[in-house]
Structure 1
Amino acid sequence: MSGVCANDLPTGRELESSLQLVAIRPLGVGYSRAISPSNGQPKSNGQAEATNKAILSGLKKRLEGAKGRWAEELLSVLWAYRTTPRRSTGETPFSLTYRAEAVIPAEVNLCSTRVARFTSDENEKLMVKELNLLEKHRDVAAIRLAEYQQKLV
């Protein structure tokens, strides 16, 4: 695929002009390097395609004609993607990774209850406890996903 850097991240032109993006590594979504037998072109997996479509859609909404600024907007779009619950699982990608909900910047600026009661030591203990329960949390999300997919059939 042209326009791809050595570390598999898309270049600006690739990101702005194509729906067939390589997956962005911080999301943890892989890019399949399988070659299509019909046309000899690389093909990506469905999860990477769906993720790329959501990211590109978010970027288009944020840029509104100023496409040269995609790099400045990318982190905001990725943050929104990672902290938005998925209809299929009811969970955010962030919560499936860390077994906790992210503290959004507005909560920090407004000093929400979660932020006001934050202590580093207590947070560390809670994170260890939550990470121990992470696999069960992911299993519950997988069950919800299977139920969601059954409803679609």
Structure 2
Amino acid sequence: MAKDMNDQWDEVALKLVDLHSKTDEMEGKLEGLESEIARIESKLDEQELKVQEFERLHEKRASNRKIIQDKHTALALEIESLYKQDVDCLKTRVLHRLENGKKYHFSAVKRDWYESRKYCQSIGMQLASPKTGDDLLTFIGGCLHRTWDEKQVT
């Protein structure tokens, strides 16, 4: 009977050793899981900061877009006003008649060909396009012989 009891104690001791080994293994896994949870929480914190930065940038973009729209509107109104001033100036100013008998309106506002054409159409005129060499010479001569005061139109 003592032998059976010793055998049972040995079995219990072996089970306790096995249980301690499994407990140590489970504690190691638990530490690993806790480490993984901390890593995930850290990444979540980083993501939260990124979301906050994105929201800040999105608000700044919306604010900048509003500023740009306001400036665009102001510029559009200014351009419209300048065109109106050009038209008003044209209405009150005598057109220049050159030697070829044609009338010309000279504008001191610098524009490219397309903008000049658009401007001329907006005031009911056509962009000057001399058809002959004589027309071109008359036009150039008329431009060169005008005084500075005559050139000062909007």
Q: TM-score, normalised by structure 2?
A: 0.25
Decide which structure has the larger Cα Rg and report it.
2
Q: TM-score, normalised by structure 1?
A: 0.25
Q: Greater share of helix residues, 1 or 2? A: 2
